[in-house]
Amino acid sequence: GAGVSQSPSNKVTEKGKDVELRCDPISGHTALYWYRQSLGQGLEFLIYFQGNSAPDKSGLPSDRFSAERTGGSVSTLTIQRTQQEDSAVYLCASSSNRQGLNQPQHFGDGTRLSIL
Amino acid sequence: GDSVTQMEGPVTLSEEAFLTINCTYTATGYPSLFWYVQYPGEGLQLLLKATKADDKGSNKGFEATYRKETTSFHLEKGSVQVSDSAVYFCALISGFQKLVFGTGTRLLVSP
């Protein structure tokens, strides 16, 4: 597609349940990123993929959070045993590194996650 | 570690006023600098960028100049419109490939 696509756009779930968030990056973009936007913490980096590998997972807040990327394209972010503090907007971004590093990242509209 | 500091908001202006939103950064190496904008109910959009010292990024009447000597990347617009009301985020990427964001500055423009 023309832009980064994320699904679902909204997710409401009960505390303790697992959730899966999906990101479909811009076609041809090799780099993919997950961020989290919450009222108290602003915009926080979670994880970075280059192709299918994740050279930087430093932002994942706990071992309940994991992410994978297959085929160098779609990525899923999984949160196990959700807690109320996981409520946030989860943003995915992608970039092309064909012109070198530090290229602009293009964001999807995000998934708004609410934990009851 | 790398960090970005931007002025707290909200910034409240009348239409056609001059806008400045201050942004300073701390980074190792030579970061690329960005301004992103988030309109109400929408996602983050890239507004402009600069990749090296003295570069000027510009888009939609907004400008920002990469000042290495003052480690700054202030956003300016000569005449704001109501439609510019949004949250503006200053950000950098250094060698670690992740965006480091400021806290965001809300701009409110009244007619």
Task: Write the DSSP string, A73-96.
Answer: S-EEEEE-S--GGG-EEEEEEEE-
Residue with tokens 């290229």: A103
Question: Is the Cβ of B99 closer than 8 Å to some Cβ of chain A?
Answer: yes
* pLDDT over 90 at A37, yes or no: yes
Distances (CA, A) of B51 to A4, A99, B2, B27, B59: 23, 12, 16, 13, 15
Q: What rounded mean pLDDT belongs to chain A?
A: 92
User: Of the candidates A35, A102, A110, which has its C-beta nearest B51's C-beta?
Assistant: A102
**CA-closest candidate to residue A78, choices A93, A97, A63:** A63
pLDDT at A88: 96
pLDDT at A58: 87
CB neighbourhood size of A58 (10 A)? 11
pLDDT at A99: 66
* pLDDT over 80 at A1, yes or no: no
Min CA distance, A22 vs chain B (Å)? 16
Min CA distance, B35 vs chain A (Å)? 10
User: Of the candidates A59, A101, A107, which has its C-beta nearest B44's C-beta?
Assistant: A107
Element (H, E) at A97: none
